[in-house]
Amino acid sequence: MARYVDGFVIPIQKKKVKDYLRMAKMGAAMWKEHGALAYAECVAEDLAVPWGMGFKKMAKLKPGETVVFSWIVYKSRAHRDKVNAAVMKDPRMNDPAMTKKKMPFDLKRFATGGFEVLVEW
């Protein structure tokens, strides 16, 4: 079953995670209503990894920061493009929690990308 995933890594101040949660819940509702198959927002709980770079180093976390790792699942890239176009037209995107001026994280450090699924179980 071919699927497509948008993935996100978001460095955020720990004190702003609750603010982010409001935005994440609104985002989850919109993406699911417009056809996304799955939507997940995860906040780091264990960043002390025994091997590899780890999210802490990759995201260049500063003192008092953590990372949010999230993804949205679609049927295909074309489906992703259709769902995202509908979300961007949704009036809820104008809510202060969703505007660039009110983001609880630094958009310059936000990382995202679209991914073809290689393995799914």
**Furthest CA-CA distance within the chain:** 45
Q: How far apart are CA 60 and CA 43, in angstroms?
A: 16
Residue 100: per-residue pLDDT: 59
Residue 108: per-residue pLDDT: 87
Domains and CATH numbers, the chain: 4-114 (3.30.70.100)
Q: Give the residue among 23, 109, 35, 98 at the shortest CA–CA distance from 66.
A: 109
Question: Which residues have a Cβ under 8 Å from the Cβ of 18 and sit 6 or more positions away?
Answer: none
Tens-binned pLDDT, residue by residue, of the chain (121 aa): 669 999 999 999 999 999 899 889 999 999 999 999 999 999 999 998 899 889 999 999 999 999 999 999 999 999 999 999 999 999 988 876 666 567 788 888 889 999 999 998 8
Report pTM. 0.89
Structural tokens at position 115: 């991914």
